[in-house]
Amino acid sequence: MNAAIAPADGRPNIVFILADDLGWADLSVYGQTHYTTPNLDALAAEGVRFNQAYANSAVCSATRFGLITGRYQYRLRGGLEEPLVRTAHLHGLPPAHPTLPSLLRDAGYDTALIGKWHLGNLPDYGPLKSGYNRFFGNYGGAIDYFTHKPRVGADVPRDLYEGEVPVERVGYYTQLLADEAVAWLHQQSAARPFFLSLHFTAPHWPWVGPEDEHISRDLTDLFHYDGGNLHTYAKMVRSLDAAVGQVVQALKEQGLDENTLIVFTSDNGGERFSKTWPFTGQKTELLEGGIRVPTLLRWPAGLSPQVSEQVTITMDWLPTLLAAAGLQPHPDYPSDGENLLPVLQGQAPAHERTLFWRYKAQRQRAARQGRWKYLKINEHEFLFDIEADARERANLRERHPEVFQRLRQAWAEWDAQFLPITDEVFTHGVTPDIQADRYAPERGTRAL
């Protein structure tokens, strides 16, 4: 093993690993019992395991806006698309907007995104236009793990790019991303710190494991509504775990381990085969199962191992990671999140926060303040004691009307600050198949 090295100025390297549709209990350290995730469990044992971490949205692209800007996604037109599908050529992350990678890049970090972008398509949008020095991955929301195509069909081009140039690769996508990440890490040195965004598509559909290339050949629809099973899903998550282990091992072999800050989380809650116990709900729903996400942070040089009960959300990572690098958000674009380091380093106690969500499907609304959660799905409104009732079963709005009205009003005042979800926005990004399957109006009430 090489002698330990760190950037010459002492600032930490940063590796931000984002899973796609990973549910709350899909890791064994969070309660999975049907398979194990030893590499991610090791990250948890050696770092911080968050018990109350949330995603900015119940779907992927909206959360990614929150992550890269450090702000509620509803400040940007592209962030209203949940998800960004049909209009990705029209709406996306404006290249002039300061981002987590652009702020780090301008401060001397080498930056790379390997994996999923999903913040707008070429020619107007892309990772190289928003702060990354290097990009390898897919621009859209999902691709097949072996063909690397966003849709089924012989004449469909692959959504796989090196920078802004389409490329071809052979192999299972999760493994390809791990290999690319390791190769990029091997190019780094002590001359300057680096920021690597490693955004996997796993375990997002299609339901294909690393030995299931024949399934890719037989697919007639990438949504794959008639396929998948718990066994295949387990293989996908275990492949993700192995990929993370491969990256961590590369850091150790290069002596970059001690002063590299690694974050692992998910862009939203789990889907069909995911385990979200003890929560109800899933992706596309503002029930806890749709927005509570497993989250780990490991930084041996800066943080002691711990379990944190501090409530967090995706947009906290911009101010937190900038603070670790000795930086602050752009003054013209203040973060809606907060720097978590004072709490994690024992300089401040865990504290109550008020977080808000809205989601256009079923006109959902949610607010979390302390133990209380306000939730609206269509015309049904609820108040839950989320600490005592993790499954969101007992509606306490009549028992605690003052709390219900306070959070209801707080949500309305918060919502008034942002771009409205108009009828035109509501119909964008929803394919007919998704509208019929996932966004059925009765889903919200049935889930309760």
Distance of alpha carbon 250 from alpha carbon 239, whole angstroms: 17
Order of strands across the sheet that contains 48-50: 165-166, 161-162, 134-138, 110-116, 194-199, 13-19, 260-266, 295-298, 48-50, 306-308
- Contact in structure between 321 and 100 (CB atoms under 8 Å): yes
CA–CA distance, 272 with 207 (Å, rounded to integer) = 10
Output the six-digit token pair for 383: 């108040």
The C-alpha atoms of residue 79 and residue 63 are separated, in whole angstroms, by: 8
State whether the Cα torsion 121-161-264-393 is positive or negative: positive
**Catalytic center residues:** 60, 118
Element (H, E) at 432: helix 432-437
Angle between helices 230-253 and 38-46 (to 10 degrees): 50
Q: Which residue has the tokens 């192999």?
A: 171
Joined together, the tokens standing for residue 224 give 């794959």
Q: Determine the Cα–Cα distance for residues 312 and 53; give it in Å rounded to an integer.
A: 5
Q: Distance between CA 17 and CA 266 in Å, rounded?
A: 8
Q: Which residues contact 17 (CB under 8 A, 6 or more apart)?
A: 198, 199, 200, 244, 247, 262, 263, 264, 265
Q: Which residue bears the tokens 């309760």?
A: 448
Centre a 10 Å sphere on the Cβ of residue 329 and count the other Cβ atoms it contains: 21
In sequence order, the 6+-apart residues with CB closer than 8 A to the CB of 104 are 14, 111, 131, 195, 321, 322, 325, 327
Q: Does residue 433 contact residue 224 with C-beta atoms inside 8 Å?
A: no
Q: Are 50 and 295 in contact (CB under 8 A)?
A: yes
Report how far residue 95's alpha carbon sits from residue 391's, in angstroms, rounded to the nearest whole number. Answer: 41
Asked whether 123 and 95 are in contact (CB, 8 A), the reply is no
Rounded distance, CA 257 to CA 238, Å? 23
